[in-house]
């Protein structure tokens, strides 16, 4: 499984202006690329919506060797109801802590050098006031699970992730595909996992030839396949193959063919300007204000 990589987490965002400010100015991430679409994605990348939407990839470096965020914005939708499924992303960056203080972005110190903050929409981020590791400042994504052992069986035995840490008492486990990659933390909770409307998606890559085998494995194991193997076209760019799965708690998981995705995910030097232009042309703030529409 050493050929598999953690790629990104997908957020649905209602306010692109404040969201861009958080990821660019507070966290210090760069816009890697920005794309506008006139209709919904075949793999529901933007959720169950079929209208105009945009995708903005932001990160501390290229997706070849960094875990990044995919910000999906559906025109006309101002906010999304949060569930208890997404528990947060942990980032090691003293610069982000400094930026938040300078911009008076709300910070809550949970322990010495560890701060909790929120991205617009209520998404939790945990900032460690330390120099980032050489590999990637994004350390882990934490998701809620209702049955830790059942989830470990899925993520480790079926998806091939290595278990780095396991604590039965605290009902948590840390998994990953490689030491230098962003990790997945599973946090057991009491009761059911509720994805509400803001549910996200975590994405990984694997060699394209493994995708049919992965899909067949899930069929044999009677696991949920949300989107069977499909090709996604991006005009002027590489066509990638993806299969979308769901774990026992319904967390969406995208596996994409690595070779084509490396071509698709190359950093676009005009991405920052494209995002700014799209936000300038988008009068949604005025539209919502006039109609008081949620």
Residue 171: per-residue pLDDT: 97
Q: What is the band of 292 on the pLDDT scale with cuts at 50, 70, 90? A: low
Contacts of 162 by beta carbon, 8 Å cutoff, 6+ apart: 1, 156, 175, 176, 177
Tally of CB atoms within 10 A around 28: 16
Q: What is the band of 44 on the pLDDT scale with cuts at 50, 70, 90? A: confident
Q: 41 pLDDT exceeds 90?
A: no
Could you say which of 3.30.460.80, 3.40.50.2030, 1.10.760.10, 3.10.180.10 is the CATH number of the domain covering 5-282?
3.10.180.10
Q: 285 pLDDT exceeds 70?
A: no
Q: What is the mean pLDDT of residues 46-74?
A: 94
pLDDT tens track for 90-132 = 999 999 999 999 999 999 999 999 999 999 999 999 999 998 8
Q: What is the band of 293 on the pLDDT scale with cuts at 50, 70, 90? A: very low
Q: What is the band of 27 on the pLDDT scale with cuts at 50, 70, 90? A: very high
pLDDT tens track for 274-284 = 999 999 998 76
Dist CA 120 CA 221 (whole Å): 38
Domain map of the chain by residue range? 5-282
* Nearest alpha-carbon partner for 159 in 97, 93, 248: 248
Q: 294 pLDDT exceeds 50?
A: no
pLDDT tens track for 148-176 = 999 999 999 999 999 999 999 999 999 99
Dist CA 151 CA 88 (whole Å): 18
Q: What is the band of 287 on the pLDDT scale with cuts at 50, 70, 90? A: low
Q: What is the band of 234 on the pLDDT scale with cuts at 50, 70, 90? A: confident
Q: 80 pLDDT exceeds 70?
A: yes
Tally of CB atoms within 10 A around 111: 8
Q: 47 pLDDT exceeds 80?
A: yes
């Amino acid at each position: 499984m050493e050929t598999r990589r953690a790629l990104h987490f997908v957020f649905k965002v209602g306010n692109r202006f404040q969201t861009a400010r958080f990821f660019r100015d507070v966290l210090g991430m760069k816009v890697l690329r920005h794309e506008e679409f006139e209709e919904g994605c075949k793999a529901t990348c933007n959720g169950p919506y079929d209208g105009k939407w945009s995708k903005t990839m932001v990160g501390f470096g290229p997706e070849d060797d960094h875990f990044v965020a995919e910000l999906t914005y559906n025109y006309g939708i101002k906010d999304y109801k949060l569930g208890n499924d997404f528990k947060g992303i942990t980032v090691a960056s003293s610069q982000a802590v400094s930026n938040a203080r300078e911009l008076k972005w709300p910070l809550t110190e949970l322990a010495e050098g560890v701060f909790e903050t929120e991205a617009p929409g209520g998404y939790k981020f945990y900032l460690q006031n330390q120099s980032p590791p050489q590999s990637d400042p994004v350390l882990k994504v934490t998701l809620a699970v209702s049955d830790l052992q059942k989830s470990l069986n899925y993520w480790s035995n079926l998806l091939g992730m290595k278990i780095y840490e396991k604590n039965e008492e605290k009902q948590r486990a840390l998994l990953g595909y490689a030491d230098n990659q962003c990790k997945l933390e599973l946090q057991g909770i009491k009761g059911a996992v509720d994805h509400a409307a803001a549910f996200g998606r975590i994405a990984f890559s694997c060699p394209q030839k493994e995708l049919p085998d992965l899909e067949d494995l899930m069929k044999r194991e009677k696991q949920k396949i949300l989107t069977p193997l499909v090709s996604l076209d991006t005009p002027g760019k590489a066509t990638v193959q993806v299969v979308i799965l769901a774990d026992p708690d319904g967390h969406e998981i995208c596996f994409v063919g690595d070779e084509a995705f490396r071509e698709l995910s190359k950093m676009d030097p005009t991405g920052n300007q494209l995002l700014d232009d799209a936000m300038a042309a988008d009068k949604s703030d005025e539209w919502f204000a006039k109609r008081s529409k949620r």
